[in-house]
């Protein structure tokens, strides 16, 4: 079946099977920043924005994304918020393999819009679905707090 | 793996129901988030996103939540934030991750009567009604006992947004399923409701304990009665014995919170 999605502000018509999930379609279309980790809704590395909201692309049927707006990290390349978040992570050495970074950055991007002056506890609750196998979250939290300019 | 032959997005609930009952192997999908974890073949996936079931509204003093509303939309809604002294929002925020809640729908959460559900336990204690397209409106506890398979969950209704309410659970980490959960509520006329779930079976009301509470406010005793009238089981998350021991503690904490 044919579906239409606006991916990173470009309208695309894509042929998908009704059984396919959005993650596999995006990777098939070469949006390689979108990673596949668990494929069961647990790790958050497949996060993309759908109509601006962070979702697990491994758990969204591609067909149900028909007519929606999808944003991956590639689409935020020139976005100042994206640059600030990734710079903060780099500054704190919070990326090792970087596998989890695209998903984390997209969720932090959405969190900035959703939460006003969040406490550290609120940040942790918002980011609970973004797992990292390498860094142990301490440098990530440090970076994110700096980005939010939160005093601990 | 799920295998879906065809996908459709009806514009009305009537049309969706028509397809559901007339086409063999047709199934409603929310986002497919939970469905995809099982292995099944679906001839027609019926997506409700265009069927007008995405809303939270206040009508005649009742809160109505459309069956296809993602949990995230419910949690961000001002009516929900203000209801039950903000306690309901807290339960929503415990359900897995922001990203999952932005896709998982309330219909996909309540209709399959999932044993581990935190939301069903909560809605039971809050005396919620469900509205099904074909079977109509009924209390959630009745729906949980019925063997309804082919129908559409159109709406969840919360009748009394002023109840005092507490949700309690044990889990290994914040980002996990409940090993056991309990919810307790009391309304202005001192009617108590106690529900225990993730036993690991689907939540049930502790009727004996609720009756006992009408005459007697001995919290220790109520908690004991509530815990004793439930059946428990063992699964990967915890043993039957562990759940039995934890149950009265959760009920007691819940009661203490709503009584104080
Ligand atoms: C990784 C993961 C973790 C989770 N953790 C928790 C948790 O901690 N606590 C908790 O309470 N829940 C949890 N859930 C459950 C979650 O809240 C949802 O129940 C689940 O994702 C299903 O939502 P969905 O809308 O995608 O439904 P789907 O997966 O699309 O559908 C599930 C079932 O519901 C049926 N269905 C869907 N909508 C309707 C409707 N309107 N009418 C009739 N039938 C319908 C479908 O036919 C299907 O059988 C978790 C789910 C996942 C995948
Ligand atoms: S790949 Fe989607 S949550 Fe892990
Ligand atoms: S940096 Fe490797 S998974 Fe997070």
Rounded Cα distance between B61 and A63, Å, is: 37
Pairs across A and B, CB distance < 8 A:
84
Rounded Cα distance between B122 and B142, Å, is: 15
Shortest distance, CA A87 to any CA of chain B (angstroms): 23
DSSP B67: T
Q: What is the pLDDT of residue B15?
A: 98
Residue pair B187/B165 in contact (Cβ under 8 Å)? The answer is no
Sign of CA dihedral A131, A135, A136, A139: negative
Which H/E stretch holds residue B147?
none
Residue nearest to atom 4 of ligand 3 (CA): A132
Ligand 2 mean position, distance from CA A152 (Å): 31
Q: Which atom of ligand 1 is nearest to the CA of B37?
A: 53
pLDDT < 70 stretches in chain B: none
Q: Which atom of ligand 1 is nearest to the CA of B32?
A: 30
Say whether residue A33 is in contact with chain B using an 8 A CB cutoff: no
Shortest distance, CA A62 to any CA of chain B (angstroms): 10
Q: Which of A55, A66, A129 lies closest to B175 in CB terms?
A: A129
Q: What is the pLDDT of residue B93?
A: 95
Sign of CA dihedral B205, B211, B215, B219: negative
Residue pair A49/A57 in contact (Cβ under 8 Å)? The answer is no
Ligand 1 mean position, distance from CA B5 (Å): 21
Strand segments (E) across A51-116: 53-56, 69-71
Q: CB B248: neighbour CB atoms within 10 A?
A: 22
Rounded Cα distance between A105 and A70, Å, is: 15
Residue nearest to atom 3 of ligand 1 (CA): B96
Q: What is the pLDDT of residue A150?
A: 59
- The residues facing B65 across adjacent strands are B56, B156
Instruction: Point out the ligand nearest to the CA of residue A39.
Output: 2
Give the residue carrying structure tokens 């668990």.
A38
DSSP B76: T
Shortest distance, CA B62 to any CA of chain A (angstroms): 27
Which H/E stretch holds residue B145?
helix B140-145
Q: Which residues of A touch B174 (CB under 8 A)?
A: 125, 128
Instruction: Point out the ligand nearest to the CA of residue B105.
Output: 1
A59 Cβ inside 6 Å of ligand 3: no
Residues 6+ apart with CB under 8 A from A65: A3, A5, A22, A50
pTM reported for the whole predicted model: 0.96
Rounded Cα distance between B83 and A129, Å, is: 26
Query: B32–A61: do the CB atoms touch at under 8 Å?
Result: yes
Q: Which residues of B touch A55 (CB under 8 A)?
A: 99, 102-103
Rounded Cα distance between B223 and B252, Å, is: 5
Q: What is the pLDDT of residue A152?
A: 41
Q: What is the pLDDT of residue B160?
A: 86
Query: B45–A61: do the CB atoms touch at under 8 Å?
Result: yes
Q: What is the pLDDT of residue B161?
A: 80
Q: Which of A42, A41, A3, A43 is nearest to A26 (CA)?
A: A3
Q: Which of B3, B6, B98 lies closest to A129 in CB terms?
A: B98
User: Which pair of structure tokens corresponds to residue A21?
Assistant: 């999930």
Sheet of strand B56-59, all strands in order from the earlier edge strand to the far edge: B56-59, B62-66, B153-158, B129-132, B136-139
HSE-CB for B74 with a 13 A CA cutoff: 31
Instruction: Point out the ligand nearest to the CA of residue A46.
Output: 2
User: Which pair of structure tokens corresponds to residue A127?
Assistant: 């980011």
Say whether residue A50 is in contact with chain B using an 8 A CB cutoff: yes
Query: A56–B47: do the CB atoms touch at under 8 Å?
Result: no
Residues 6+ apart with CB under 8 A from B20: B26, B27, B28, B46, B150, B151, B152
Sign of CA dihedral B153, B105, B202, B206: negative
Q: Would strands B129-132 and B180-186 be described as parallel, antiparallel, or unpaired?
A: unpaired
Q: Which of B171, B168, B133, B173 is nearest to B153 (CA)?
A: B133
Burial of residue A46, with CB atoms counted within 10 A of its CB: 0-12 exposed, 13-18 middle, 19 or more buried:
buried
* pLDDT tens digit at each of 152 positions of chain A: 999 999 999 999 999 999 999 999 999 999 999 999 999 999 999 999 999 999 999 999 999 999 999 999 999 999 999 999 999 999 999 989 999 999 999 999 999 999 999 999 999 999 999 999 998 899 999 999 999 985 44
Ligand 1 mean position, distance from CA A41 (Å): 12
Residue pair A35/A105 in contact (Cβ under 8 Å)? The answer is no
Q: Which of B6, B5, B23 is nearest to B150 (CA)?
A: B23
Q: CB A65: neighbour CB atoms within 10 A?
A: 25
């Amino acid at each position: 079946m044919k579906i239409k999605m606006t991916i990173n502000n470009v309208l695309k018509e894509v042929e998908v099977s009704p059984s396919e999930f959005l993650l596999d379609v995006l990777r098939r279309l070469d949006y390689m920043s979108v990673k596949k980790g668990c494929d069961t809704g647990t790790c958050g590395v497949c996060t993309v924005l759908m109509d601006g909201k962070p979702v697990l692309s491994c758990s969204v049927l591609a067909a149900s994304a028909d007519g929606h707006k999808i944003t991956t990290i590639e689409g935020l390349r020139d976005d100042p918020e994206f640059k600030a978040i990734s710079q903060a992570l780099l500054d704190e050495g919070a990326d090792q393999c970087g596998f989890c970074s695209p998903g984390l950055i997209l969720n932090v991007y959405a969190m900035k819009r959703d939460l006003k002056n969040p406490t550290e506890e609120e940040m942790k609750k918002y980011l609970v679905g973004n797992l990292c196998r390498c860094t142990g979250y301490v440098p990530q939290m440090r970076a994110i707090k700096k980005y939010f300019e939160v005093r601990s | 793996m799920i295998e879906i032959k065809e996908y459709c997005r009806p514009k009305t609930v009537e049309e969706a129901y028509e397809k559901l009952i007339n086409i063999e192997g047709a199934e409603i999908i929310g986002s497919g988030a939970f469905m995809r974890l099982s292995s099944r073949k679906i001839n027609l996936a019926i997506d409700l996103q265009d069927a007008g079931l995405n809303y939270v509204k206040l009508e005649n003093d009742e809160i109505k939540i459309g069956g296809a509303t993602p949990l995230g939309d419910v949690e961000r809604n001002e009516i929900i934030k203000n209801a039950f002294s903000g306690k309901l929002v807290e339960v929503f925020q415990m359900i897995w991750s922001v990203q999952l809640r932005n896709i998982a729908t309330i219909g996909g959460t309540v209709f399959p009567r999932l044993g581990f559900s935190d939301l069903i336990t909560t809605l039971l204690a809050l005396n919620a009604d469900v509205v099904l397209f074909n079977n109509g409106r009924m209390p959630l506890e009745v729906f949980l006992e019925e063997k309804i398979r082919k129908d559409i969950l159109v709406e969840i209704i919360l009748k009394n947004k002023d109840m005092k309410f507490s949700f309690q659970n044990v889990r290994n980490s914040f980002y996990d399923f409940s090993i056991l959960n309990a919810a307790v509520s009391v309304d202005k006329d001192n009617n108590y409701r106690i529900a225990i779930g993730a036993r690991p079976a689907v939540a049930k009301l502790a009727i004996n304990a609720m009756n006992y509470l009408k005459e007697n406010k001995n919290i220790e005793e109520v908690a004991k009665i509530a815990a004793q009238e439930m059946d428990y089981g063992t699964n990967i998350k915890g043993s039957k014995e562990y759940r039995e021991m934890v149950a009265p503690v959760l009920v007691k904490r819940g009661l203490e919170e709503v009584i104080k």
